[in-house]
Amino acid sequence: MDFEHMDDRPTGQVIMWPLVTRERFAELSGLNEGVVRGMVEKGHIPSVKIGRHRLANLAMAFGNMINLYARYGYNARTVIKHL
């Protein structure tokens, strides 16, 4: 892989990754790190293992949340509006 040209991206370009560390997920969600660790280990928070690290998948977690609310009759737009 050629890393020489990585800085040739236009300035201000942001790359969003749906994967975050458990610590970052805890920070974003307001949950305790220990709680997040337990939820990841039990499979309540979708995650993927990359090497030695297990990362929480924000995109899947958000999609699961929308689907859960939809099961109870909430509209996805309504849920997103209140986040």
pTM, two decimal places: 0.64
Specify the amino acid at residue 69: Y
pLDDT of residue 1: 46
pLDDT of residue 71: 87
From residue 73, alpha-carbon distances to 23, 48, 69, 76, 79 in Å are 32, 30, 7, 9, 11
Name the residue with tokens 């709680």: 35
What is the DSSP secondary-structure string of 22-50? HHHHHHHHT--HHHHHHHHHHTSS-EEEE
CA angle, 76 then 44 then 47, to 5°: 95
pLDDT (tens place) for every residue of the chain, 83 residues total = 444 555 555 556 555 678 999 999 999 889 999 999 999 999 999 999 999 999 999 889 888 888 888 888 887 777 666 66
Q: What is the CATH number of domain 6-81?
A: 1.10.1660
